[in-house]
Amino acid sequence: MAIRAGVITVSDKGSIGERVDTAGPAVVKLLTANGIEVSETAMIADERAEIAALLRRWSDETGLDLILTAGGTGLAPRDVTPEATQDVAERQVPGFAEVMRAESRKKTPLADVSRAVVVTRGRTLIINLPGSERGAVENLEAILPILPHAVEVASGNQSH
């Protein structure tokens, strides 16, 4: 099954050109290197309603199999990506977030500050990643081996 993905970088400073996004491009590079087609990318501000609207559009209208967000998962007051993701969620996939935090914990004691969530909306799997390039890549690498199977099952292309 070919997987069509989108990557959203969530960053107030990035969205107004005050910060160069390295996390989003690194996620795109890792996905494409693993045979996943990235057909959509975006950079948006830490605005809950805007994040949720884009997640809805890419899930419901664009029909992406997989959406990854990078950024907005910490404790800062403007970090609202998990809440926006929960706003559009139909089902929770807590195991992915548990794996990401467990692997991160091996590298940094700050892993447990992440509030990243993983959910499904319709047939789309939505995954929150940290906003740093290193954190985003390490978290994605932790779940990459199980990603194709999860996307296939969520999309309804495999019966159990």
Position 160 in a domain = no
Q: Is the pTM of this model over 0.85?
A: yes
Beta bridge partner(s), residue 67: 6, 126
Distance CA 107, CA 87 (A): 31
Whole-number average pLDDT of the chain: 95
In tens, the pLDDT along 91-144 reads 999 999 999 999 999 999 889 999 999 999 999 999 999 999 999 999 999 999
> 31 is written with which tokens?
């996905």
Domain boundaries, position 59: 4-154
- Within 8 A by CB and 6+ apart from 156, the residues are 123
Burial call 116-138: b when 16+ CB within 10 Å, e when fewer:
bbbbbbebbbbbbbbbbbebbbb
Position 83 in a domain = yes
Position 74 in a domain = yes
Q: What is the CATH number of the domain that holds 26?
A: 3.40.980.10
Position 159 in a domain = no
Position 107 in a domain = yes
Tokens 């978290």 correspond to: 139
Q: At what angle do helices 48-56 and 81-88 cross, to 10 degrees?
A: 40
Domain count, the chain: 1
> Torsions phi, psi of 92, nearest 5?
-90, 150
Position 78 in a domain = yes
How does residue 160 score in pLDDT terms, banded at 50, 70 and 90?
low
Look at residue 1 and tell me whether its pLDDT is greater than 90: no
* CA 102 vs CA 18, 21, 33, 130: distances in Å: 32, 25, 24, 14
